[in-house]
Amino acid sequence: MRNPAKTPLISVIVPTYERSTMLPRALDSIFSQTWPNVEVVVVDDNIPGSHWEAETAAVLEPYQARPNFKYLKTTGKTGGGAARNFAFRHCNGDYVAFLDDDDRFLPDKLEKQFQFMQEHDLDGSYHDVKWVDSNEKLVELRTMDYTDDYSTES
């Protein structure tokens, strides 16, 4: 087991908009990571005063007491990119990962991705995406083999 004091902090940004019921699965997948030093930053992009904002706040209440958990709110309906950028400015991590509110991480996602970056001296990386239905049946596997390798360029 790593010493969390010496393990880089990875911030995971989770933007959410009108999908409060999906948040627990996403958040629990982050809190279940094998990587021991994680900050979770949820950015609520719901319209202030809406029932969606109230539902999101209620769903997030049990997570509020967790260490390294932040709940941020935008001005509402800014869009996924703007919400992620807003949250990025509030992260404390040495590295940042993104997870949509309707997705989840496999338990060793952060650890494997960080190790890969260290082994290949990379500052950033991305990975394949697997879509499954509600019965966990594979719907699509999207591999990222269509991109170029820029890892050796200066």
**Which of the four pLDDT bands, split at 50, 70 and 90, describes residue 137?**
confident
Dist. CA 88–CA 79, nearest whole Å = 14
Enumerate the H helices of the chain as residue ranges: 23-31, 51-60, 80-88, 109-119
Mean pLDDT score, 19-45: 97
Mean pLDDT score, 38-64: 98
Dist. CA 73–CA 38, nearest whole Å = 20
pTM of the model: 0.87
Q: Which residue has the higher pLDDT, 4 or 103?
A: 103
